[in-house]
Amino acid sequence: MSSEIHSSATADGVIELLEEPRYELMPFDSMDEQLEHLPDGAEVAITTSPTLGIEATVDWSERAADRGYEIVPHIAARYVRGEDHLEEIAGRLVDAGVTDIFVPGGDRDEPAGEYASAYELLAALEELEYAFADVGITGYPEGHAFLDEQTLSDSMARKEPFATYVVTQLCYDPDAIVEWIGTIRNRGVELPVEVGIPGVMNYQRLLGISKKVGVGDSVRFLQKTSGILGFVRQLVGSRGKYAPDELVEGLAPYATDPHYDVRGVHIYAFNQVPDLESWRAETLAQYR
């Protein structure tokens, strides 16, 4: 960001967004090293990997929670084999001290069991003896590559009664995010929004992660949103390294506005935490 004097509202908003973000990590071998670069007690979301399955998510949730992190595992519906499997997962997470989960549908062509959608899994969770204080669902500011807007709207309406907040998919356009939040507020959706933003991304490192996991979980994730072209443009324009300076600045004026009810940022770190944390520290120092 530039060294010019920033407005008080922008500065306050940037600090509000970046002081205690949620970090999303992928449950690969590199997670152990990534965790070491996070603040003590940081809130960490752990994805469900198409290549490693939901077991890796649960295993890493237990390990990271034991190290004092606030863990938010992704319980992707299409990876859960059935009621017994769901009960086992919920029990292990509760025993590990997890109180917050995120429930997406999941990147799997055919479901592993009876849950083909996030809604079906959320409804099944209601029937279990295990409960979580917070449950997140997905929002799509730039739409979905395979689902139309009406389908997305209907899906959110069905899931909303089970949820306590929404996490937006990766988006590089602050105007699109703000407009989308306004749209769901007009539809009567009052859930707080955790805005999903990319972290600092080195394109070569992203490709390296992709190669390690075969089909490339990271690239596959990016393809879920129509914002993939924005991703490519950003990387080309930044000569292969992206940092979300302009995105955070654009969101900052809305960070404390109760109408938008932005509860924070959810940073898709793509297991590049050292670069992300260096950028975050420098940015916060500039705005304080």
- pTM value is 0.88
* CA 283/CA 243 separation, integer angstroms: 11
* Long-range contact pairs involving 206-210 (C-beta distance under 8 Å, separation at least 24): 206/270, 206/272, 209/26, 209/28, 209/30, 209/270, 209/271
Q: What is the pLDDT of residue 215?
A: 34
| Whole-angstrom distance, CA of residue 135 vs CA of residue 169 | 16
Phi-psi group of 86: left, alpha or beta (phi > 0 → left; psi -120 to 50 → alpha; rest → beta): alpha
pLDDT of amino acid 184: 96
The C-alpha atoms of residue 38 and residue 285 are separated, in whole angstroms, by 17
Q: Which two tokens stand for residue 18?
A: 């970046």
- Could you report how far apart the first and last alpha carbons of the chain are, in Å? 13
Neighbours of 1 (CB within 10 A): 15
Q: How high does pLDDT run on average in the chain?
A: 88
Which domains are delineated in the chain?
Answer: 8-287 (3.20.20.220)
Could you read off the pLDDT of 103-138 as tens digits, one per residue?
999 988 899 999 999 999 999 999 999 999 999 999
Does residue 3 carry a pLDDT above 80? no
pLDDT in tens, 138-152: 999 887 767 788 989
Distance CA 17, CA 108 (A): 32
**Contacts for 111 with CB less than 8 Å, ≥ 6 apart:** 77, 78, 79
